[in-house]
């Protein structure tokens, strides 16, 4: 990973949050352990309201998003790529055509964009909130009602300990229960009951016995707090009394276009009712009297996460997530570590060919190489998680788990790459819906498959005098001549592997030498 010089006054860090309601850009400078704001931009893009019946972003939503990101990109111009982190949340988690948008969005912004999981969003929200609160031993509940999802986090100090992300948000609820703009009592009742039915699944986890102080972050919480503050309610707090008053004011207005509340911004008018119903549902289920308003948000969490990585204040969360997943599904750790070690050894042998620049394989830089090795290692450590469901077609079960789980620290693209590697670690190659022209992925895949073969006896294999290399689209594995007699089962499995690679546009050649 490229180094970030936090001590230089010229060093800027930037976070881009592609939310369901708004896109936000925060640029800051590190000073004495804190990040001081240099610039902040926010645009109401409301992509969360423009998913069609097939869950595709509409052309209009794509265009609004790209125009906003192009403006952000102009502001970011000149900031090194490793100083910028851009993430997308629930709307792009849901959108079927997200890859189409992300390809255009990367070009417009000029930087990579990650689609993060719900639990990773929750973790980053907690980072942002906790970093901007006074240091304390209090146990905290943090709630963020976004456009299409609501996050709950229990934590202490800077550590998020329990996280949940539910598909209930201000944009989605406003579209569903207030689509005609009518702010009628019956609409509020239906929206509140529906919100509580969604939230009830996790309500027991976040009851008052588990925390000392409850905080609300960003979006809906900020909008409601602004209105209540102007109306004379205590600043920095949302109370049950305040929510009841605001509900009455909305019903009194009868329709969204007649809303005229001091403190309510124009871009919030169409989504305030849905967000309010979710907050009321949360207050009722958790028996809250007060929700403190926090100033930190997801974008701050992104900035502090970059800073924490540079200061090495915490282990890579992805390592911890894979360990937790492996424990949960009863993976044989000794065997997984053997496969990991052997797979990385085979992959390292291919690095010289991956570092060469040609028409099909662009040159790798060091951070990209490190990331490829990490993902291969995680795939090796988790390749048997599907066995907990069934040994028959365990690869499919493992791939499904990785594609449908939420692990802290991982972008969805990383989890999908892991899923493909686990699906392909044995068996037919054509079952993989992937680009076999991607030499990086193919190199990861063959390294993992060979490691599984050499570790088939669940013992540490002896690989002395074994060489492995790549020549264009052919992999060459050279074994000592004594191998065939000493390890007949391994040699048989390698013969099967040669046949598997003949079915696609790559080849594996195995030979022996004295």
Do 94 and 223 lie in one domain? The reply is: no
Strands of 197-340 (E only): list them: 213-217, 237-239, 290-294
SS3 199: helix
What CATH code is carried by the domain that includes residue 491? Answer: 1.10.3210.10
Give the count of domains, the chain.
3
Q: What is the mean pLDDT of residues 298-307?
A: 92
Other beta carbons less than 10 A from residue 436's beta carbon: 15
Domain membership flag for residue 127 = no
Is residue 445 one of the residues assigned to a domain?
Answer: yes
pLDDT tier, 114 (very low <50, low <70, confident <90, very high otherwise): very high
pLDDT above 60 for 313 = no
- Mean pLDDT confidence for 342-357: 84
Same domain, 103 and 213: no
- Mean pLDDT of the residues in the chain: 90
* Structural domain that includes position 282: 133-294
Residue 512 has a pLDDT of: 86
Q: Is residue 172 part of a domain?
A: yes
- As to burial, measured by CB atoms within 10 angstroms (0-12 exposed, 13-18 middle, 19+ buried), residue 506 is buried
Q: Report residue 21 as tokens.
A: 């309601």
- Check if the beta carbon of residue 206 is closer than 8 Å to that of residue 56: no
* Same domain, residue pair 262 and 307: no
Rounded to an integer, the average pLDDT of 14-39 is 90
Mean pLDDT in residue range 457-479? 89
Q: For 317-326, write each residue's pLDDT tens digit.
A: 688 789 889 9
Q: How confident is the model at residue 364 (pLDDT cuts 50, 70, 90)?
A: low
* pLDDT tier at 437, thresholds 50, 70, 90: confident
The size of the chain, in residues, is 514
List the CATH number of the domain containing 278: 3.30.420.150
- Please state the pTM of the whole predicted model: 0.75
Q: What are the φ and ψ backbone dihedral angles of 274, each rounded to 5 degrees?
A: -60, -45
Residue 26 sits in a domain of what CATH number?
A: 3.30.420.40
- HSE (CB half, 13 Å, CA atoms) of 95? 26
Using the predicted structure, report yes or no on whether residue 505 has a pLDDT greater than 70: yes
Same domain (yes/no): 472, 323: yes
Contacts 24+ apart (CB under 8 A), 52-58: 54/96, 55/94, 55/95, 55/96, 56/95, 56/96, 56/97, 57/91, 57/95, 57/97, 57/98, 57/101
Residue whose token pair is 């492995």: 468
Contacts of 132 (CB under 8 A, 6+ apart): 294, 295, 296, 300
Whether 120 maps to a domain, the answer reads: no
* Rounded Cα distance, 150 and 146, in Å: 6
Q: Both 144 and 106 in a single domain?
A: no
Average pLDDT over residues 468-494: 89
Q: Are residues 102 and 146 in the same domain?
A: no
Give the DSSP H or E segment for 268: none
Residues 429 and 340 reside in one and the same domain: yes
Give CA separation, 214 vs 144, 165, 345, 392, 483, in Å: 11, 17, 48, 46, 64
Both 277 and 141 in one domain: the answer is yes
The pLDDT of residue 311 is 53
Whether residue 3 is contained in a domain is answered as: no
User: What is the per-residue pLDDT for 501?
Assistant: 92
3-state SS, residue 373: helix
Q: Does residue 362 surpass a pLDDT of 70?
A: no
Is beta strand 139-145 parallel, antiparallel or unpaired with respect to 213-217? parallel
Residue 312: per-residue pLDDT: 47
Mean pLDDT for the stretch of residues 339-359: 82
> Of residues 279 and 438, which shows the higher confidence score?
279
Whether residue 6 lies inside any domain: the answer is no
Q: Is the pLDDT of residue 32 over 70?
A: no
The one-character DSSP state at 83 is: G
Beta bridge partners of 506: none
For 321-480, strand residue ranges (E) read 467-471, 474-480
pLDDT of residue 254: 95
- For 173-188, the pLDDT digits (tens) are 999 999 999 999 999 9
Determine the 3-state secondary structure of 332 from DSSP: coil
pLDDT tens-place string over residues 122-170: 999 999 999 888 778 899 999 999 999 999 999 999 899 999 999 999 9
Which tokens in the block code for residue 109?
Answer: 């912004």
Res. 316: pLDDT tops 80: no
What pLDDT does residue 443 have?
A: 93
State mean pLDDT over 5-26. Answer: 88
The H or E element containing residue 403 is helix 394-404
Which pLDDT score is estimated for 286? 96
Q: For the segment 216-226, what is each residue's pLDDT rounded down to a tens digit?
A: 998 899 999 99
DSSP string, 217-255: ESHHHHHHHHHHHHTTSPTTEEEHHHHHHHHHHHHHH-B
- C-alpha dihedral, 313 to 318 to 323 to 324, nearest 10°: 100
- Tens digit of pLDDT for each residue in 64-77? 999 999 999 999 99
| Residue 185: Cβ within 10 Å count | 10
* 31 shares its domain with 172: no
């Amino acid at each position: 990973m490229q180094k970030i010089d936090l001590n230089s006054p010229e060093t800027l860090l930037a976070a881009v949050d592609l939310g369901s309601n708004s896109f936000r850009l925060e640029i800051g400078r590190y000073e004495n352990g804190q990040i001081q704001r240099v610039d902040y931009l926010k645009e109401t893009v409301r992509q969360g309201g423009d998913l069609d019946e097939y869950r595709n972003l509409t052309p209009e939503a794509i265009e609004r998003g790209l125009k906003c990101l192009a403006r952000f990109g102009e502001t970011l111009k000149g900031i090194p790529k490793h100083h910028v982190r851009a993430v997308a949340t629930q709307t792009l988690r849901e959108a079927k055509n997200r890859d189409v948008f992300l390809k255009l969005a990367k070009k417009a912004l000029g930087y990579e964009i990650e689609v993060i999981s719900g639990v990773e969003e929750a973790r980053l929200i907690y980072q942002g909130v906790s970093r901007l609160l006074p240091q304390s031993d209090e146990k905290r509940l943090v709630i963020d009602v976004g456009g299409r999802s609501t996050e709950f986090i229990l934590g202490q100090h800077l550590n998020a300990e329990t996280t949940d992300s539910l598909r209930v948000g201000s944009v989605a609820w406003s579209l569903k229960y207030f689509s005609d703009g009518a702010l009628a009592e019956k609409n509020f009742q239906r929206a509140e009951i529906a919100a509580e039915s969604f939230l009830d699944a996790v309500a027991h986890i976040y009851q008052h016995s588990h925390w000392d102080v409850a905080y609300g972050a960003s979006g809906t919480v900020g909008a409601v707090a602004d209105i209540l503050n102007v109306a004379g309610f205590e600043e920095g707090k949302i109370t049950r009394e305040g929510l009841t008053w605001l509900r009455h004011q909305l019903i009194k207005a009868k329709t969204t276009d007649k809303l005229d509340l001091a403190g309510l911004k124009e871009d919030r008018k169409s989504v305030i009712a849905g967000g309010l119903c979710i907050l009321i549902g949360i207050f009722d289920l958790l028996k809250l009297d007060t929700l403190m308003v926090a100033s930190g948000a997801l974008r701050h969490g992104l900035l502090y996460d970059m800073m924490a990585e540079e200061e090495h204040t915490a282990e890579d969360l992805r390592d911890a997530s894979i360990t937790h997943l492996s424990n949960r599904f009863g993976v044989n750790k000794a065997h997984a570590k053997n496969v990991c070690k052997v797979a990385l050894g085979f992959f390292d042998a291919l690095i010289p060919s991956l570092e060469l620049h040609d028409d099909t394989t662009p040159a790798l830089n060091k951070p990209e190489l490190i990331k490829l090795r990490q993902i291969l290692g995680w795939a090796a450590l988790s390749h048997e998680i599907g066995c907990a469901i069934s040994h028959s077609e365990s690869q499919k079960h493992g791939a499904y788990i990785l594609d449908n789980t939420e692990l802290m620290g991982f972008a969805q693209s990383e989890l999908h790459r892991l899923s493909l590697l686990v699906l392909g670690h044995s068996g037919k190659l054509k079952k993989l819906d992937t680009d076999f022209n991607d030499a990086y992925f193919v190199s990861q895949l063959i390294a993992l498959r060979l490691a599984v073969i050499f570790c088939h006896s669940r013992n540490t294999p002896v690989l002395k005098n074994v060489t492995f290399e790549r020549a264009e689209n052919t992999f060459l594995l050279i074994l000592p001549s004594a191998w065939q007699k000493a390890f007949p089962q391994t040699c048989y499995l390698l013969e099967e592997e040669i046949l598997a690679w003949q079915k696609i546009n790559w080849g594996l050649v195995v030979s022996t030498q004295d």
